[in-house]
Amino acid sequence: MTLHSIDSIREGLRKRSFSAAELARQAIEFAEAENPKTNAYLRFCTDRALAAAERVDRKLAAGEDAGPLAGVPIAVKDVILTKGVITTCASKMLENYVPPYDATAVERIEAAGGVIVGKTNCDEFAMGSSNENSAFGIVRNPVALDRVPGGSSGGSAAAVAQGTAVLSLGSDTGGSIRQPASFCGVVGVTPTYGRVSRYGLVAFASSLDHIGPFARTVKDAATLLEVMAGRDPLDSTSADAPVPNYAAHLDGRVKGLRLGVPTQYMKHATGETAELATRAIERFRRMGCEIRDISLPNTEHAVATYYIICTAEASSNLARFDGVRYTYRSPSSDTLSDMYRNSRGEAFGPEVKRRIMLGTYVLSHGYYDAYYLKAQKVRALITRDFTNAFQSVDAILAPVSPFPAFRIGEKVNDPMEMYLSDIYTITGSLAGIPCMSVPCGATTEGLPVGLQILCDHFDEQKMFRLAHAFENS
């Protein structure tokens, strides 16, 4: 599985070197054998995967187009709904929940011939930066098993890095795709807000949540995003913007592009991470790009702004998990109030409780204007910083994280230090712009480091072109 790409699978099916069903069986067997090392998967979808693969084989046998993802094994983060397959959000609250419908992204992947092989582990309700907050055990980084894979989409990043899936889906609220991609040495993409439908994505912070792809190559990530992207009538926030053929425009032509490097990002970057990012930026200069220093002056307020907005929205969104309908219900409750209190107290983990309490506080009477409303105003300023920057540059280059993958347990007792691991990714999420992580080297300990590329709204095509040229340079 490790060596497969979309193109190699397409070629293998064309030459009849293997069938899609054979590949699906091989993928699931390999993933089941490797999973004890990393705990990247929470469950496998064997019956569903084989049914999808057999549909691909029937289309190929009939001479029909089986789709751009024909036969490709794909893992899906367990906050994205899959009809008939338990979706837990890595929480005891939903440990037995079976969705009655598919997320739009999942529907489109299977319509394009993709084969969903399993659901991946994550931080509970996508809240975390290390994948240590899952109710079903931590995920280990396949590059170094004593290290975290990043979060919250650590299981999806680990599955691709481990080679147990060719592609995977994650969700990103403040860096939850880019940071794990950097830590695991794979490509991770956060598309423009609204580019991919959120229908079927369990909401954490509705104005910040994105679904995006992980892959081993830029081309594969671009292909998967193209399949998922586009207007969805089931999601009023999805954008009615044309979706280009991303892979067709990976022509390597980047000479003359103006690339901005934010001084606010680089002045805090130290050590090998900063050195690798600086080398990557210099590589773009050698490819003929013009490198400019730029200023994003409101960056220093980003972490505070993000954690006020995301916790407020989480507090509202998670109110539905009350023990009444499809969630965990505490067996030891005499009154309705006790049932609410006990069910939420027993089923939610510490990080989820922390964010609900913070969000409830900033939304409470007397604090709404002082915190939440002010945070939204600062968010508008952060967005304006990017709008101004893109008037003089074509894209922005920056580190993904201040450091590479840290050791399991190293930051778990220091929430503030954990939150700061997203300091470089939060700004792009607040602005809703497309951004991605592409591997740019490894430290002396062999830990991967990613370079972040950020572009203007709906300009994923240029972002992919830059990343692909860098990948092949």
Q: What is the pLDDT of residues 302-348, one digit of tens each?
A: 999 999 999 999 999 999 999 998 899 999 889 999 999 999 999 99
Residue 322, phi-psi category: left (phi > 0), alpha (psi -120 to 50), beta (remainder): alpha
**Containing H/E element for 470?**
helix 460-471
* Whole-number pLDDT of residue 255: 96
Average pLDDT, the chain: 96
**Mean pLDDT value across residues 133-137:** 98
**Mean pLDDT value across residues 425-452:** 97
**Mean pLDDT value across residues 138-146:** 98
Q: What percent of the chain has pLDDT over 70?
A: 99
Token pair 């910083």: residue: 385
Q: What percent of the chain has pLDDT over 90?
A: 92
Q: Looking at 19, 77, 171, 197, which residue is catalytic?
A: 77
* Whole-number pLDDT of residue 412: 84
Query: How far apart, in whole angstroms, are the C-alpha atoms of residue 382 and residue 396?
Result: 14
Q: Which range is most confident: 204-213, 246-255, 320-329?
A: 204-213
SS3 of the chain: helix, strand, coil, percent, to 5? 45, 15, 40
* Whole-number pLDDT of residue 266: 82
* Whole-number pLDDT of residue 271: 86
* Whole-number pLDDT of residue 420: 76
* Whole-number pLDDT of residue 61: 97
Specify the 3-state DSSP secondary structure of 21: helix
Q: What is the pLDDT of residues 262-273, one digit of tens each?
A: 999 887 777 899
8 Å CB contact between 159 and 44 = no
**Containing H/E element for 442?**
strand 435-442
Q: What is the pLDDT of residues 404-423, one digit of tens each?
A: 999 999 998 887 778 777 88
Decide if 152 is catalytic: yes
Q: Is pLDDT at 240 greater than 60 in this prediction?
A: yes
8 Å CB contact between 186 and 216 = yes
Which regions of 121-249 does DSSP assign to beta strands (E)? 167-172, 187-190, 210-215
Q: Is pLDDT at 163 greater than 90 in this prediction?
A: yes
Q: What is the DSSP letter of 297?
A: G
Q: Looking at 91, 171, 176, 182, which residue is catalytic?
A: 176
**Mean pLDDT value across residues 94-122:** 98
Class of residue 331 by CB neighbours under 10 A (exposed 0-12, middle 13-18, buried 19+): exposed
* Whole-number pLDDT of residue 416: 76
Q: Is pLDDT at 104 greater than 60 in this prediction?
A: yes
Q: Is pLDDT at 132 greater than 60 in this prediction?
A: yes
* Whole-number pLDDT of residue 3: 65
* Whole-number pLDDT of residue 2: 46
Decide if 392 is catalytic: no
Q: What is the pLDDT of residues 366-381, one digit of tens each?
A: 899 999 999 999 999 9
Query: How far apart, in whole angstroms, are the C-alpha atoms of residue 96 and residue 85?
Result: 10
Q: Is pLDDT at 1 greater than 70 in this prediction?
A: no
**Mean pLDDT value across residues 163-177:** 98
The CATH number that domain 1-294+381-413+424-473 falls under is 3.90.1300.10
Cis ω for the linkage preceding 392 (within 30 of 0): no
Q: Looking at 91, 130, 134, 152, which residue is catalytic?
A: 152
Decide if 267 is catalytic: no
Q: Is pLDDT at 446 greater than 60 in this prediction?
A: yes
Q: Is pLDDT at 172 greater than 60 in this prediction?
A: yes
Angle between helices 46-61 and 20-38 (to 10 degrees): 150
Q: What is the pLDDT of residues 46-79, one digit of tens each?
A: 999 999 999 999 999 999 999 999 999 999 999 9
**Domain residue spans of the chain:** 1-294+381-413+424-473
